[in-house]
Amino acid sequence: MSFQLHRMFQTARIQRRPLFLPYICLGYPSYQASLQAAKAALRAGASALELGAPFSDPIADGPTLQEATLHSLQHGAKFADVFRMIQDLRSAGFRQPLLVMSYLNLVEQFGWDDFAEALSETGGDGAIIPDLPLEKFPLFNPLMRAKNLALVPFIAPTSSAQRVKMADAQGAPFLYYVSVTGVTGARKKLPPGLLKALRALRGQLKTPLVVGFGISNPAQAAQVGKAADGVIIASALVKLISRTPVSKIGGVVGRFCGQVVKALHKV
């Protein structure tokens, strides 16, 4: 439910505690393993999850996520698995918001109405679609909002002031700020000037700001957390999973997420 997301960000702002939204690649390295990873992240205190639906041509993703999504597809991952995972997480008792991260074609082929329906039925909270332009929000945002689901807009370092305003006006629980001009992927250093850019941006926005792309460890998360309402970690987590034997994925993901949550508490 998107109101839960809204409330979560409001509370976070009052408490000055940035939120942590880890990304889990569905079906990587298997459905069960990704479910374990998701549970571990939530247990470790993740504020919400981004559940990534694998797509054959992920143009916004760097090598790590490309390889992971390709692996998932080759091992039979289906789009409908996102709903299955939401259901599994809900029946295991997890209450945190769950967002589906998907490229537009998958949603388009599933059908927007069916997508919103299935998301709402299973207990999902919204969707993040990197190749859905702001111009198309008027077409799809109403049908998502009618079911109390969020559609999260992106803004990038190259977004004009006008587009930032446009994103801010969508009534979303948060905006996804792409920290670098580039694709997803863990980076050694945060882009120079990021914090300054975030502070300037945040002053103009009424919508909370969550930062993703290129954040790889608890220390970086804490740094970004000083100037944002939340951080997303994707590639670094997927990379960690790729190096971990399946039986230990839950433990390793839980530990990593726990460290990030702790680092963000100290911000």
Partner 1 sequence: MSSSRRNPAAESAPLPDPEGFFGPYGGQYVPETLMMALRELEEAYAKARRDPRFQREFQYYLAEYDGRPTPLTYAANLTRALKGARLYLKREDLNHTGAHKINNCLGQILLARRMGKKRIIAETGAGQHGVATATVCALFGVKCEVFMGEEDVRRQALNVFRMRLLGAQVHAVSSGTRTLKDAMSEAIRDWVTNVRATYYLIGSTAGPHPYPMIVRDFQKVIGEEARRQILRKAGRLPDALVACVNGGSNAIGLFYPFLKDRKVKMVGVEAAGDGVQTKRHAATMAKGKPGILHGSYSYVLQDKDGQIAETHSISAGLDYPGVGPEHSWLRDTKRAAYVSATDQQALEAFQALARHEGILPALESAHAVYQAMKMAPRMPKNSILIVNLSGRGDKDVNTVLERLGSKLRGGAP
Distance CA 89, CA 48 (A): 12
Our CB check for partner 1 shows the closer of 180 and 195 to be 180
Pair 190, 179: CB distance under 8 Å: yes
Our CB check for partner 1 shows the closer of 36 and 102 to be 102
- 57 assigned to active site: no
CB of 81 to partner 1, least distance (A): 10
Please report, as ranges, the residues that interact with partner 1 according to CB under 8 A. 55-63, 66, 70, 73, 78-79, 103-106, 108-110, 130-136, 153-160, 163, 178, 180-183
Sheet-wide strand order for 150-152: 150-152, 126-128, 98-101, 49-52, 19-25, 230-233, 209-212, 175-178, 154-155
- 168 assigned to active site: no
Pair 162, 138: CB distance under 8 Å: no
Q: How is residue 24 written in tokens?
A: 């889990």
Q: How is residue 1 written in tokens?
A: 């439910």
Pair 201, 209: CB distance under 8 Å: yes
Pair 202, 170: CB distance under 8 Å: no
**Helix, strand or coil for residue 19?**
strand
Distance CA 70, CA 105 (A): 16
User: What sign does the dihedral 51-54-55-59 (CA atoms) show?
Assistant: positive
Written as one letter, the residue type at 263 is A
Element holding 49 (H helix, E strand)? strand 49-52
Our CB check for partner 1 shows the closer of 100 and 249 to be 100
CB of 170 to partner 1, least distance (A): 13
**Among 50, 81, 125, 229, the one annotated catalytic:** 50
Our CB check for partner 1 shows the closer of 63 and 142 to be 63
Distance CA 70, CA 28 (A): 9
Our CB check for partner 1 shows the closer of 157 and 171 to be 157
**Among 61, 81, 125, 168, the one annotated catalytic:** 61
Half-sphere exposure of 68 (CA within 13 A, CB side): 31
Our CB check for partner 1 shows the closer of 40 and 186 to be 186
**Residues with active-site annotation:** 50, 61
